[in-house]
Every structure is written in structure tokens, then in C-alpha cells.
Amino acid sequence: MKFLRKFIKRFRLDSLLVPIIDFLLIYLACQIGLRYRNISFEGLKSDLRGFPDDYSWILWLAPFLGVFIFSLSNQYKSLFGLFTTKNIYKFFSYSLFLLVNLAIIGKIFLFKIPNLKAWIVLYFIIVSFTSLSRFIYKDSLQKRISFKSKNAKSIAIYGAGGAGRQLEAALKISNLYKVCFFIDDDSSLWYREINGIKIYPPYSLQKTLKNIDQIFLAIPSLLTKRRKEILNSLQRFNIKISSIPSIAEITRRKSIIDSLKPINVEDLLERDAVDPDLHLLSKDIEGAIICITGAGGSIGSELARQIIELSPKKVILLDNSESNLYQITSEVEKLSLEELKLIPTLGNCCDLDFLTNLFSEEKVDIVFHAAAYKHVPLVEINSLNSIANNVFSTLNICIASRNLNLKKVLMISSDKAVRPTNIMGATKRLSEIIVQAFANDVKVNTPSKEAPKTCFSMVRFGNVLSSSGSAVPLFIKQISSGGPVTLTHPKITRYFMTIKEAAQLVIQSSAMAKGGEVFLLDMGKSICIKDLVIKLIKLSGLQLKDNIQPNGDIEIKITGLRAGEKLYEELLIDAEAKKTDHPLIFRANEKYIVIEKLNPKLESLKKTISQRDKNSALKILNELVVEWEKSI
């Protein structure tokens, strides 16, 4: 009774329609199978006269037994809209199990049992009927969904490989998108079909894209160079493009195959990413105790992500922002190994006693100094606090590191430090001078036979895409909200690199540092910001609104250069760049001020800041950074 109640309960939970259809189909299969149980022509003739009474027990027992077996095997709990060939294989086994049980029952109760040919015919008819009913139901369901989805966007999938097919299957059950066709570079696939959807060559896009709202790029293994070629070819169509995650993201379980995202601005750069030297990456990091200042910022957080994967002994994440520190700590805890000790530390690098105590207690080997105020307009407005933070955090790190004989200190600088025209750039250049002064002082005061105890160096690079200080996220936000996109000057240019590249450069530079150098990356050609904005507009499926196209979607509004903003940036002041072990990383030794002359000026600067004397502070800053082009 308990088993019967369980069956009734299971049966009631299932849809009544499908079991009833199965009952009727099995009944019909038995009618046909037993009438045509003989394969020979003569036997077929005699069977047409009527149903053989000797086998009527099968006709009435098989439908009940079949529904019972299908119910116990959870067939009626399946989602029939997702019925696949895998389900057919199950029907082969369930139908075989049904006929075996019928034969056993016939033996037990001494019923007349058909011959082997009849069983085979009956078996294949039952499998065919029940499987076919599922496919008919699935197709009718898809048609109902398509009929309901009048507002579904028409899309094309670029890539007819495994990822493209998976994406199409995932989108098929959605009410949001209708896949109209595939595009693929492989000529062997052209004009063939996947699930009734045709595959076209890329050169036919001019004709086929007329009724398409969006393109989904579904080639996760695509090489960077080919990816850029495809995106450049699609720009002229003014159609929105999204992409599935890369192979690396999928394998790391960061994304799934049908997770779509906008095209990264990194894909629009006119340069290929710099491949890191794996030996240089791990040379100083493996087994070391690392401190990252500004760990919650764009560069600091990426440094944390990459350093943790290089097997350090301990990583101290130092930041004065509680929310930023919490966010990066939560993220890297998932990446870190059990034997790695991760220490999130709230604190201010302008506090020398705090830094000295931290470096001493944790026995720090290497400091990556990324903490700084970097937003040019905000630094211009808050000049005194910005000078205090950027300059004296660097000074205190250098003092504490030298006093405790740390192995290395690497400061993150900026191309805005080269002939600066704003306070942020001037503070970065002064920070470089401080690092250079300490590097020289260590060398001068180290006996000739000994290596310097603390190695001080710095890395200088251009704009980092999608960082907190980058204008690119603002451009994307302005485009998504309908514009206008604000641009300070139509001819403004910048060097760009990805956050990942920047962090790799910093780590590799640390491995090559000998003291006092400034490292920089061959960043290729500088990019016209206006051209970059136009590309972003086109790849969002929109048109530029200007004098030529007054009915376009997004307008670019020129606001004028901000205070201290340059039309272009540089990476060197007056030194010569020399090659290093990495083909695209260069080394230079810029001019500096010896520490004996620098310290009194820094004391005076500190005093004017504490007195809130802005004019005097800027005057001293200008005396220390003589190439600063700001008039005071």
C-alpha cells in the first residue's frame, strides 16, 4: 500500500496530459505492432483481418505498465521543451524494460507470447511513437514562445562553432532574442544550417544585417589580433556588439558560456597586449612578504590579484578606504591558497610610526607603492591635501624601508610626471625625485664591496583603461544614457594600457630593478580620444550626431581643456631609454636632487601645508619640480 500511495502521489505531481498521450500511443503501438507482427507478405495479409485475440492481454496491460514505468523513471518530471537525443536513448532502455516485463508476466500467467519478430516490431514502434511525441511537443512549445516574443530582438551570432551552438541553444528558450543567422570565417560552413538557422560568410554582412538589432561574438578562443580585425570590420555597420566570455574566464569559472557582455574597450586599442616574462613575474614574489599600498585602488587591486597567483608567503593589503579594502580582500580571499597569509590593513601611509611598526612586525620584503590621489581636477581643487598625501606618503615609505633594510620599494608613477602641467603630475614627479634621492643615498652610503640593502625604483606609464581615474568608463556611461559625450578637446591624445598589463609591468620591473631607475613600457602610438569615442558609439549600435549626420544618436560635446590638462602626454623628460630583459620594457635614469638638498625643502613644504599656506606650498613644489609649467 505504501508503494502504491507513493506512485499515486508521484503521478499526481506530473502533468496529466503527457501520461494520457503515452497511454494512447502505447495502445496504438500495440495495435499496429501485433497486427503486423510477421514480416513476410503472407503473414501481413492474414494480420489485416483483425486483431489477434490471443494477444489482447498485451493490448490492455502494456499501456498501464508503460505509464507506470515511465512515471517511476521520472519521465514526467522532465522539461519537454528541452527534450534532446539523450532522452531518446533513455526511451530505448525504458521501452526494452517494458517489453521484458510483459514477457515475464506472460510466462508467469501462461499467456500466449508473440515471437521474437513481433517483439522487435513492437519495441521500435513504441520508441518511435513516444519519442516523436516529445519532439512534436518541443517544436510546438518553441513556436508558441516565438509567437509570444513579438518584442524579441533579432540577432546574429558570429561564430558557428561549439560556443556559438551552445549560445543559440540557450537563447532559443528565451523571450528576449531571436537568432536569425550565424556568421563564420570557415568557408566549409557557409550556407549550411544549425537547427534550421543558416550560416553566412562575413562578406555577406552588408546584405544580411539589414534586419538585425545586435551581433553576439561567440568565439571565446579568438586571438586578440583577429578579434580586433572583426570588430574593426563591424564598426561601419553601426550595430551593437556583445561577446561571450573568453576561454580563460570560462575555465576559471568566472563566467558561463551564455553570459553576454559588452565589447571591452581594450579590444579597440591599436596595439597588442604585452606578453609577460613568467620568470620575471615570479622572480622576486615567490616566497616573499609583499605589502601593497593603495591596495583597494585600480592598480593596487590588480597587483593584489596577480601577486597572489605567484605564490608569495604573505601579502599585506594596505589602504585608508574601508570599503575599498573590504572589497579587494573579499575578492582575493577566494583566489588565495591556504598556506598564503593575507593581511588587510586599514591605515594611512602619511603616518611614519604606523608604517615603521607595520613593516617591522610583518617583516616586509617588498613594497609596491600605489597609494596616491590621481584625479587631476580634484587634485587641482584640493591641492594642499593632495600634496601632503602624494608626496609625504612616498617619503615615509622610503624612510621606513631604508631604516628597516627592506629588500625593494617600487613606486607607481605616471606619464603626467613628465613636464607636468598640473599639481597631480608635479606631486608624482616630486615623489619620483624622493625615490631617486633615497636610491642614490643608499648607494653612496653602502660599502663598495656590498650590494645596496634597499633597492628603490619606480614605474611610469600612461592611462590605464577602466581605472577609477580613466575617462573611458564615463564615456560608456554617457553613451548608454543617450549622450552627449563630453570631450575636452577634439585633438587630445593619450597612451593607453590595460590594468592587467600595467600590473604585470610593475611586477616585472621590480624583478629587474637595481636602484634609481624609472621603468616604462613601449605603449605604441598614442590614441586620439575622439576616434576612440566614435568607435564606442558605433559598437553600441548607435550613430554619431554631427553636422554630417544631424539625425544621429550621440553627440560629442567639446568642453575645453581643464586646468593643467595637456593635449598629449610623454614618458621621458630628458633621459635616454635603454633596453631591458623584456623587449617592451625600457629603463631610464632621470635627473634628481641629492637627499641633503631635498630634505630641507621637504621640511619647508610640510610646514607650509600645516599652516594651510597654499601659495608658499605651490612655490616650493615649483622649485623642486623645475619643469612644472604652471605659472604661480
Q: Which residues are catalytic?
A: 416
Which set of grid coordinates corresponds to residue 46? 492474414
Q: Which residues, 6 or more positions from 374, have their beta carbon under 8 angstroms from its beta carbon?
A: 414, 424, 468, 469
Question: Do 156 and 209 touch, CB atoms closer than 8 A?
Answer: yes
Expressed in percent and rounded to 5, the helix, strand and coil fractions of the chain are: 50, 15, 35
Q: What is the dihedral of CA 346, 349, 350, 356, to 10 degrees?
A: 100
Q: Is the link from the previous residue into 473 a cis peptide, with omega within 30 of 0? A: no
The enclosing H or E element of 558 equals strand 554-558
Written as one string, the DSSP assignment of 326-338 is HHHHHHHHHHS-T
Residue 191 DSSP symbol = T
Find out whether 322 and 298 touch, Cβ atoms under 8 Å.
no
Q: Which residues have a Cβ under 8 Å from the Cβ of 614 and sit 6 or more positions away? A: 383, 384
Rg, C-alpha atoms of the chain: 36
Q: Is 35 within 8 Å of 118 (Cβ atoms)? A: no
Burial of 189 per CB tally in 10 Å (0-12, 13-18, 19+): middle
Determine contact, residues 408/454, Cβ cutoff 8 Å. Answer: yes
Q: Which three cell numbers stand for residue 147?
A: 509567437
d(CA 429, CA 414): 8
